[in-house]
């Protein structure tokens, strides 16, 4: 019998014999997968336990004990191999394979890369000084908000992982309270912390619904601008329209091939008659739709205009807001649908079915509105990027924003399509969209489409811009008209200080002057002119001096080409002042002699 590993006390007994159980330690021989065998131990109370032993390592009650002085347990290669093997899965590696979970009470030090849930973490086998977290990509099941393709590094970051898609959160509380987040990036402590914390807000109850029934098109001309015939269209000049299903009026471009000039795009109407409109690309009706090179009209087509709703109470809804409508009576087709809004007044909005505000909801076949209906604003939370500690920390409703900098736009709660770059800038902005602020400190709360660059440039979004610095404009281009030159001003210009013009100045107004407050050029103060002054208005009235007076010194001859106001002086003839009377005669008035 081999020597016992866990003890040396032997008791008599063999095949067909009994042994004394008290203190007995019968040994079981090795099995096919072991070399040391097992031992049954019976104490003085005849309680028998199973034990196994591998040198100084003892297994007892599912606990592995090390008897070595340092308390370490080392697992080397088993079998005949002299070194450990590289693990490639949970079933490989001849040193240790653990089928169940592993709990580690303190730190874990791994010499090589580790693989967790098919994700490799380490320096990478391919080189040195790398930080690698990677895995094998898989095709996503879908693009829904069900916890796919996101990256999280940080405490309490992206807590709503199971309702995210393509989100990146790096830093404590980054995207932390957010749910239903898509294509968002937050890098920095508390960056975009609150985005996604609220789903919707009640805007109020619908008090009115109006729309223009879609008009059928019967003809489209190949003119500039294109003219559309649609009987009783009921449109107003400047109305935004959307045309569909026109057959014809196409043109070919190199980039896109055959395209329609009128179908499925934003156009504006210039009302010609109750049955016809001209088409333009802009609301100001200055850029016409030119159909002279397009194919001819064949048939069909409809003009669509958006539904317009009025709400009794409005909070934080602007152009581009995403809303949900329900509980409408009568026009029930609006219920349980999502729309994008275009603001008309403070509480009146047009409804579109796409974010680009191009495709209106056609209500031609809807039931008649009788009243009621809740309007909820669906808070948006995708496409946002925040880089910096507390960047847009309070944003709860917005999309496609970019925030870069410590506490960039930290107070902003509602807004989309903004760009904020700078440390601690725009601290008092709470709502606003379409804003560009680069180190700017002039942004006003509640205004859209502002631009602020430092303390030098500001645009208020409504046509006013200010440059607060000495400014040089252009490269010295000469002006040949009102639309050319180093500086082109489309409207009037008010200048509080002096103006110096180094070249020829032309005033194109043809207004005649009948007083000091009329005419193409009006000067409140005096006028100093060093050169000649000429007029092309004919013979001047005797009461007006149109030329700069000249003093002419001669030797007694009459000066050539005399002008009104000339003074002729010499030592032998009296001095004279010339003037013209009755439009024909020239007279010299004697004013003295020398």
Least confident of 8-22, 469-483, 487-501: 8-22
Confidence bin at 42 (pLDDT 50/70/90): confident
- DSSP letters, 271-306, are EEETTEEEEESSTTS-SB---TTSPPEEE--EEE--
Q: CB atoms < 10 A from the CB of 123, how many?
A: 13
Token pair listed for 177: 């309270």
How far apart CA 67 and CA 69 sit, in angstroms, is 6
First to last CA, the chain: 159
Q: Alpha-carbon distance 159 to 197, whole Å? A: 11
Quick check: 204 pLDDT over 60? yes
pLDDT for position 1 = 38
Give the tokens for residue 46: 């005849």
* Across 75-87, average pLDDT: 56
Q: Report the pLDDT value the prediction gives residue 27, as an integer from 0 to 100.
A: 67
Q: How far is CA 202 from CA 307, 341, 372, 478, in A?
A: 20, 15, 14, 58
Cα separation, 304 vs 293, in Å, equals: 25
pLDDT of residue 498 exceeding 90, the answer is no
Backbone φ and ψ for 163, nearest 5 degrees, come out as -120, 35
Q: Between the CA of residue 25 and those of 29, 37, 289, what are the distances in Å?
A: 13, 13, 103
Model confidence at 257: pLDDT above 90? no
Comparing CA positions, the residue from 143, 148, 156, 222 lying closest to residue 190 is 156
Sorted by where each begins, the domain ranges of the chain are: 1-74, 201-209+308-378, 218-294, 529-594
The residue that leads in pLDDT, 503 or 151, is 151
272-285 pLDDT, tens digit each: 999 999 999 988 89
By three-state DSSP, how is residue 412 classified? Answer: coil
Fold of 201-209+308-378: Elongation Factor Tu (Ef-tu); domain 3 (2.40.30)
How many Cβ atoms sit within 10 Å of the Cβ of residue 455?
A: 12
Interstrand relation of 551-553 and 465-467 (parallel, antiparallel or unpaired): unpaired
Give how far Cα 16 sits from Cα of 12, 19, 46, 170, 346, Å.
12, 10, 21, 72, 103
Confidence band of 268 (pLDDT split at 50, 70, 90) = very high
Q: Is the pLDDT of residue 34 over 60?
A: no
Is the per-residue pLDDT at 6 higher than 50? no
CB-hemisphere CA count at 13 Å for 43? 5
Nearest in space to 187 (alpha carbons), one of 391, 10, 41: 391
Tens of pLDDT, residues 363-393 = 888 999 998 999 998 887 889 999 999 999 9
Mean pLDDT of the 350-373 span: 88
The residue count of the chain comes to 594
Q: What 3-state DSSP class applies to 151? A: strand
pLDDT at residue 218 is higher than 60: yes
Q: How far apart are CA 396 and CA 213, in angstroms?
A: 37
Question: What is the predicted pLDDT for the residue at 7?
Answer: 46
**Which residues of 214-284 form beta strands (DSSP E)?**
215-216, 219-220, 227-229, 240-244, 247-248, 250-253, 257-260, 266-273, 276-280
CB 458 within 8 A of CB 438: no
333: which DSSP letter? G
For residue 503, give the 3-state DSSP assignment: coil
Question: pLDDT class for 86, splitting at 50, 70, 90?
Answer: low
- Comparing 18 with 236, which gets the higher pLDDT? 236
197 touches 158 (CB < 8 A) = no
Could you say which DSSP state residue 148 is in? Answer: B
Highest mean pLDDT among 115-119, 362-366, 416-420: 416-420
Rounded to the nearest integer, the mean pLDDT of the chain is: 80
Residue 152 — pLDDT band, cuts 50, 70, 90?
very high
Q: How far apart are CA 39 and CA 52, in angstroms?
A: 6
Instruction: Examine the pLDDT at 576 and tell me if it is beyond 60.
Output: no
Q: How much of the chain, in percent, has pLDDT values that exceed 90? A: 30
Res 33 pLDDT > 60:
no
- For residue 375, the Cα-to-chain-centroid distance in whole angstroms is 25
Overall average pLDDT of the 115-138 stretch: 84
For 48-57, write each residue's pLDDT tens digit. Answer: 776 665 555 5
Taking only the tens place, the pLDDT of each residue in 322-341 is 899 999 999 999 999 999 99
Burial letters for 504-526: b for 16+ Cβ neighbours within 10 Å, e otherwise? eeeeeeeeeeeeeeeeeeeeeee
């Amino acid at each position: 019998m081999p020597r016992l590993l866990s003890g040396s006390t032997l008791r008599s007994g063999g095949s067909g014999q009994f042994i004394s159980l008290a203190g007995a330690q019968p040994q079981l021989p090795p099995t096919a997968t072991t070399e040391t065998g097992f031992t049954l131990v019976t104490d003085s109370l005849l309680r028998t336990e199973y034990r196994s032993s591998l040198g100084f390592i003892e297994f007892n009650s599912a606990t592995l004990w090390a008897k070595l002085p340092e308390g370490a347990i080392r697992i080397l290669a088993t079998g005949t191999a002299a070194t450990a093997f590289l693990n490639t899965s949970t079933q490989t590696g001849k040193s240790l394979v653990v089928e169940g979970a592993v709990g580690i009470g303190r730190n874990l030090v791994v010499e090589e890369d580790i693989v967790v849930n098919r994700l490799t973490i380490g320096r990478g086998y391919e080189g040195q000084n790398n930080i690698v977290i990677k895995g094998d990509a898989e095709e996503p099941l879908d693009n829904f908000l069900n916890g796919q393709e996101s990256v999280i590094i940080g405490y309490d970051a992206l807590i709503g992982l199971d309702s995210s898609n393509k989100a990146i959160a790096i830093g404590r509380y980054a995207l932390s309270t957010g749910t239903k987040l898509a294509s968002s990036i937050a890098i920095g402590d508390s960056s975009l912390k609150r985005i996604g914390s609220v789903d919707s807000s009640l805007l109020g109850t619908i008090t009115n619904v109006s729309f223009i029934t879609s008009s059928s098109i019967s003809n489209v001309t190949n003119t500039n601008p294109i003219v559309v015939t649609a009987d009783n269209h009921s449109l107003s000049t400047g109305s935004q329209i959307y045309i569909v299903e026109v057959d014809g009026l196409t043109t070919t471009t190199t980039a896109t091939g055959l395209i329609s000039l009128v179908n499925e795009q934003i156009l504006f109407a210039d009302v010609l008659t109750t049955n016809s409109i001209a088409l333009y690309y802009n609301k100001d009706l200055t850029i016409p739709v030119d159909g002279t090179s397009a194919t001819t009209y064949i048939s069909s087509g409809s003009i669509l205009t958006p539904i317009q709703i009025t709400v009794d109470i409005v909070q934080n809804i602007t152009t581009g807001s995403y809303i949900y409508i329900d509980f409408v009576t009568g026009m029930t087709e609006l219920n349980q649908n999502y729309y994008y809004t275009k603001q008309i007044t403070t509480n009146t909005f047009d409804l579109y079915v796409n974010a680009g505000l191009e495709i209106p909801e056609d209500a031609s076949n809807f039931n008649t509105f009788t009243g009621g209906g809740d309007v909820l604003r669906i808070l948006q939370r995708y496409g946002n990027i925040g880089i910096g500690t507390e960047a847009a920390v309070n944003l709860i409703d917005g999309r496609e924003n970019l925030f870069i900098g410590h506490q960039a736009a930290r107070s902003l709660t509602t807004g989309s399509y903004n760009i904020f770059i700078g440390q601690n800038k725009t601290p008092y902005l709470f709502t606003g969209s379409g804003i560009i602020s680069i180190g700017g400190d002039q942004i006003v709360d509640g205004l859209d489409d502002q631009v602020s660059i430092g303390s030098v440039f500001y645009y208020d979004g409504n046509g006013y811009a200010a440059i607060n610095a000495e400014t040089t404009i252009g490269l010295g281009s000469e002006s040949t008209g009102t639309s050319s030159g180093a500086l082109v001003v489309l409207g009037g210009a008010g200048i509080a200080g002096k103006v110096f013009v180094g070249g020829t100045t032309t005033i194109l107004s043809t207004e005649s002057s009948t007083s000091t407050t009329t005419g193409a050029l009006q000067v409140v103060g005096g006028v100093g002119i060093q050169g000649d002054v000429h007029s092309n208005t004919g013979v001047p009235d005797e009461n007006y001096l149109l030329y700069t007076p000249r003093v002419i010194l001669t030797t007694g001859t009459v000066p050539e080409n005399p002008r009104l106001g000339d003074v002729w002086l010499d030592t032998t003839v009296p001095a004279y002042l010339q003037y013209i009377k009755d439009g024909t005669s020239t007279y010299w008035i004697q004013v003295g002699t020398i």
